[in-house]
């Protein structure tokens, strides 16, 4: 469609721009008056929090890169110099370091929200799949970022993870050599990891944009898992959810600040403060906490290729989740058995994370194997069957119904009147 | 804002001014918050502790013969140290201030009692090139000092700008004589 946009903005400057490039109209449509289900709980904060977290990571990362030296000779020292000598370098580094952990906390809760309330179901399958792509990109970015300080954990983490590809039959060894740019993790590896670590966040930003576009086509899911039926069921995004997101943001920043200012190294590993030594592997090597469940799955399978396939399979299975879950009902609120099993699944993943951080011996191996089996059982067996067997509770007629009858008292006048005005 | 103040369910009159006030306070708080967050990022670009720690150098003048100039490095910048001859000092001191584009007495540009030594930041005040003239084989321009190859600026033996486009004299860095033959720059 060619032609100038008919802008409704009164301000002549904004109107002039908006007529030619309707950014202001778009922002108002997507973030101002955007009709949003009115029954969100605080789980719906986590998308916005992830967006904020991404911006924090990019901002601190750009300034860290100004002082970072991507060479095996200089990387470790340059990171120490950032912490000791660069103005506020300690702050930038600890925000970036703990920001990665915060990012995964936020995203894992965001994913739990999606699974608990069935947000991946029709018509939001693609939205969910784009989300899984973001998760994969985040994992790659986090892994490469962890290599950059060039400590012992960095080096051996890089060695172990890149060696995963050697499990691929026939071409595996060639792929690993290609990844390394040599015959071991060395200067070329560090250089390319830095380059890619800088690139990936912008790729993530692009995919996040697609995620948001897809979200704004289907509209948000909500705790009841039923579509809004009328204007009565929605609220304009601003100010109702900008404010609600801000409340969540304050709590998020509090947790973030406690990590950064009081226990900046709590989630890290002390061995990473020893410079990389290609001749000595630390006695107990573990990945960052957010990879532990997947690491446990890798270790549970007594076969090199099998372990790698299971580990990647643990994420690949998320891609097809919308088709594995056969229940037509979205929200766990109305699925009594699924709701219980969702908690069992969370415990399963937490236990996987726990054994992933322990030495692989004795009971840890058995527990890891049982939990790995259950992880796949949940997705591949329980969800398809449960959807057909389970008798869901009756769904409410509309979002407004339970909000008005079960909620605490009537809504303030403005909340009800607002959606009517903006037709 | 409307002139009539509607009444809220709890019986209080709605005060439009209160809402404006809250909006302004919230807006300003957000601006201050973003500024406070931005400052560590911006300040991290300033010279860091290890850079500031390298901000002075010492230099032994003894090996520099009369008429000779040397270039040393201070804070990553070239510093010209020149041992001037008696004739050069005389020329520099006898220039009329009215002939200068950026008037400065030669006596003010050297340390008292050490007028044979001129110490300058060797960066042309035009656009930052390093002028020629420290080596005897270099072109020194018409005033016997330094000549900038980039845009033709000329300086005299006191480092004063004598011919444009440079707008000012070569700056004298902060330095002091520790002994008669040793200086500390910075």
Cβ atoms of residues A98 and A259 within 8 Å: yes
Q: What is the pLDDT of residues B35-80, one digit of tens each?
A: 999 999 999 999 888 888 877 888 888 888 888 888 888 888 899 9
How far is the CA of B95 from the CAs of A277, B42, B79, B90, B98, in angstroms?
A: 66, 46, 24, 9, 8
Distance of CA A221 to the CA centre of its chain: 18
Would you call A75 helix, strand, or coil by DSSP? helix
pLDDT for the residue numbered A391: 93
A369 vs A355: CA distance, rounded Å: 10
Name residues whose C-beta falls within 8 Å of residue A230's C-beta, 6 or more positions apart in sequence.
A398, A400
Q: Which of A87, A91, A413 sits opposite B48 (nearest CB)?
A: A87
Beta strand B182-185 with B175-179: parallel, antiparallel or unpaired?
antiparallel
* The model's pTM: 0.85
- pLDDT exceeds cutoff 70 at B117: yes
Residues of B with Cβ-Cβ distance to A92 under 8 angstroms: 40-41, 44
Q: How far is A409 from chain B (nearest CA, A)?
A: 15
Is A85–B51 a contact, with Cβ atoms under 8 angstroms apart? Answer: yes
ipTM of the complex: 0.77
Is B46–A92 a contact, with Cβ atoms under 8 angstroms apart? Answer: no
- Nearest residue of A to residue B23, measured between CA atoms: A239
Residues of B with Cβ-Cβ distance to A60 under 8 angstroms: 41
Q: Which of A85, A92, A413 sits opposite B40 (nearest CB)?
A: A92
Q: What is the CA radius of gyration of chain B?
A: 29
Which of A53, A66, A86, A416 to probe by mutation at the B interface, max B CB count within 10 Å?
A86
pLDDT for the residue numbered A403: 52
Per DSSP, the residues of A315-353 read HHHHHTHHHH---S---GGG-HHHHHHHHHHHHHHHHHH
Strands across the sheet containing B77-83: B69-74, B77-83, B117-121
State the Cα torsion A295-A300-A303-A306 to the nearest 10°.
-70
Which of A53, A85, A257 to probe by mutation at the B interface, max B CB count within 10 Å?
A85
pLDDT tens string, chain A, 423 residues long: the values are: 578 989 889 999 999 999 999 999 999 999 999 999 999 999 999 999 999 999 999 999 999 999 999 999 999 999 999 999 999 999 999 999 999 999 999 999 999 999 999 999 999 999 999 999 999 999 999 999 999 999 999 999 999 999 989 988 889 999 999 999 999 999 999 999 999 999 999 999 999 999 999 999 999 999 999 999 988 899 999 889 999 999 999 999 999 999 999 999 999 988 999 999 999 998 888 899 999 999 999 999 988 899 999 999 999 999 999 999 999 999 999 999 999 999 999 999 999 999 999 888 889 999 999 999 999 999 999 999 999 999 999 998 888 876 555 544 444 444 444 444 443
Distance of CA A332 to the CA centre of its chain: 21
Would you call B63 helix, strand, or coil by DSSP? coil
| Chain A residues whose C-beta sits inside 8 Å of any chain B C-beta | 59-60, 63, 66-67, 81, 84-89, 91-92, 413
């Amino acid at each position: 469609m060619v032609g100038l946009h008919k802008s409704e903005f009164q301000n002549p400057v904004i109107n002039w721009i908006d007529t030619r490039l309707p950014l202001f109209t778009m922002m108002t449509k997507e973030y101002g008056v955007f009709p949003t289900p009115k029954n969100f709980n605080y789980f719906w904060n986590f998308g916005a929090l992830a967006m904020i977290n991404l911006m924090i990571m990019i901002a601190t990362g750009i300034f860290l890169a100004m002082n970072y030296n991507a060479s095996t000779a200089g990387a470790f020292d340059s990171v120490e110099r950032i912490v000791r000598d660069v103005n506020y370098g300690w702050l930038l580094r600890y925000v970036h370091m703990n920001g990665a952990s915060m990012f995964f906390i936020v995203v894992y809760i965001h994913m739990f929200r999606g699974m608990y309330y069935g947000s991946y179901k029709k018509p939001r399958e693609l939205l969910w799949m784009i989300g899984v792509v973001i998760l994969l990109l985040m994992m790659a970015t986090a892994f490469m970022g962890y290599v950059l300080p060039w400590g012992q954990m960095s080096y051996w983490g890089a060695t172990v993870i890149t060696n995963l590809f050697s499990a691929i039959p026939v071409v595996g060894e060639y792929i690993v050599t290609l990844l390394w740019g040599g015959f071991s993790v060395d200067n070329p590896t560090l250089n390319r990891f830095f380059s890619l670590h800088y690139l990936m966040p912008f790729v993530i930003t692009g995919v996040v944009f697609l995620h948001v576009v897809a979200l704004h086509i289907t509209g948000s899911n909500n705790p009841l898992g039923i579509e809004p039926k009328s204007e009565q069921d929605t609220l304009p995004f601003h100010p109702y959810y900008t404010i609600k997101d801000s409340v969540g943001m304050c709590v998020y920043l509090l947790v973030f600040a406690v990590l950064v200012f009081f226990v900046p190294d709590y989630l890290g590993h002390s061995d990473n403060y020893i410079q990389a030594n290609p001749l000595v592997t630390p006695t107990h090597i573990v990945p960052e906490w957010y990879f532990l469940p997947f690491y446990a799955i890798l270790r549970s399978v007594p076969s090199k290729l099998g372990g790698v396939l299971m580990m990647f399979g643990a994420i690949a299975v998320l891609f097809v989740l919308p088709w594995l879950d056969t229940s037509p009902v979205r929200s766990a609120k109305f699925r009594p058995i699924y709701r219980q099993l969702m908690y069992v699944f969370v415990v399963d993943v937490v236990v996987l994370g726990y054994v992933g951080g322990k030495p692989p011996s004795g009971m840890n191996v058995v527990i890891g194997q049982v939990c790995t089996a259950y992880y796949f059982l949940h997705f591949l067996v329980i969800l398809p069957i449960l959807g057909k067997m389970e008798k869901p509770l009756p769904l409410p007629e509309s979002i407004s119904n339970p909000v008005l009858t079960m909620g605490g008292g009537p809504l303030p006048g403005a909340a009800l009147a607002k959606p009517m005005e903006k037709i | 804002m409307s002139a009539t103040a509607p009444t809220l369910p709890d019986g209080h009159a709605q005060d439009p001014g209160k809402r404006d006030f809250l909006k302004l306070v919230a807006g300003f708080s957000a601006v201050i918050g973003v500024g406070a967050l931005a400052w560590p990022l911006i300040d991290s670009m300033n010279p860091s502790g290890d850079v500031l720690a390298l901000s002075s150098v010492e230099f032994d003048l003894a090996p520099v013969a009369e008429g000779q100039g040397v270039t040393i490095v201070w804070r990553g910048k070239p510093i010209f140290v020149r041992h001037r001859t008696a004739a050069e000092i005389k020329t520099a001191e006898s220039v009329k201030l009215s002939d200068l584009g950026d008037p400065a007495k030669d006596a003010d540009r050297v340390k008292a009692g050490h007028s044979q030594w001129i110490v300058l930041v060797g960066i042309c005040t035009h656009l930052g090139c390093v002028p020629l003239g420290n080596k005897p084989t270099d072109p020194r321009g018409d005033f016997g000092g330094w000549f900038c190859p980039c845009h033709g600026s000329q300086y005299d033996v006191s480092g004063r700008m004598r011919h444009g486009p440079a707008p000012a004299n070569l700056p004298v860095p902060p330095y002091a004589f520790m002994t008669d033959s040793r200086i500390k720059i910075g």
